[in-house]
Amino acid sequence: MSKQNIDWSNLGFGYIKTDYRYVCRYKDGQWDEGGLETDANITLNECACVFQYCQACFEGMKAYYTKDGHIVCFRPDMNAKRMADSAARLEMPPFPVDKFVDAVKQVVAANADFVPPYGTGASLYIRPFMIGTNSVIGVKPATEFEFRIFCTPVGPYFKGGAKPIAIKVSDYDRAAPHGTGNIKAGLNYAMSLHAIMEAHREGFAENMYLDAATRTKVEETGGANFIFVTKDGKLVTPKSDSILPSVPRRSLLVVAEKYLHMPVEEREVYFSEVPDFAECGLCGTAAVISPVGLINDHGKEIRFPSGMDEMGPVLTKLYTTLRGIQQCEIEAPEGWILKIQ
């Protein structure tokens, strides 16, 4: 397949098989050399630990063309470090950060034909993951593991791109205090599937999860962190030990403070405060920023002044500045951009 065979401007957020993926295996206490492979399929025993006890973690990032024709990736070292944290929590061997970043470079360079052209709004989504592969029937960790990175060209995560979405307050809990909410474990996402499908059936794009302990504080959605803008122009984001630390959210806090000179607060956000905010958005690798125009709380609607027609002015500045940094049109902080070719 080549670029001419894909309608880049109308690309959905789905899987398209690319030519190469990186595979590295762990056995007898060490990782092998690893390298690129062409087979997209994995053959495992029926009793593999990943099937029995869901021993799996993953990451997500993007590569894209810049205006001057380079292919770049945004802060992959942060994903590598977060995945190492996830692995440690799941009794899996952390994959070395430098080897992770090198593997990303190999996969993207080998699949350069699948990187969407600049200006199409599409990107190459990169999915590293690790699974326990040997047979385990008693409840215990695997001793053999497989680390893989594949990639696929994707369009916007939410249909309509950066148009405001409507979400609902979920009756379900995403994560418990002292649990695994702050790591990117596959099981966390499996547990949110019913809730997200229920939201979709009711006409909402996503869920707002509240803290499991008191159900009074904002946590996150099934796949993105919240950011709020106060009426006096302050950026506020929820702080909790059960929230996944999003790379784009952490980057947006720097953008707000250092580039836009906005006051920034990372703190507990009570749901009772939400109607007082001027703007609300979801941020994550897949969506970057998706503005929220409406939150449905069991039939009671919270509508933000920014409305349902377009992204609010402050979120727009944050979005365009971060995208400018990612596209190398605005000078990035040191180490944020990995040039692949």
Structure-block tokens of residue 272? 């009772």
Provide the pairing of β-strand 235-238 with 264-267: parallel
Distance CA 111, CA 76 (A): 17
Q: Would residue 184 show up in a list of annotated catalytic residues for this protein?
A: yes
CA 240 to chain centre: 17
Cβ atoms 134, 51 nearer than 8 A: no
Structure-block tokens of residue 256? 């707000």
71: left (phi over 0), alpha (psi -120 to 50) or beta: beta
Among residues 184, 234, 258, 339, the one annotated as catalytic is 184
Structure-block tokens of residue 240? 């909790």
Alpha helix (H) ranges present in 123-261?
A: 186-190, 193-201, 247-254
Give the alpha-carbon dihedral of 35, 39, 45, 51, to 10 degrees.
90
Task: State whether the Cα torsion 136-142-146-150 is positive or negative.
Answer: positive
Q: What is the DSSP letter of 264?
A: E
Q: What is the DSSP letter of 339?
A: E
Distance CA 299, CA 297 (A): 5
Helix, strand, or coil here: 210?
strand
Alpha helix (H) ranges present in the chain?
A: 49-53, 76-89, 97-110, 186-190, 193-201, 247-254, 313-326
Enzyme catalytic residues:
184
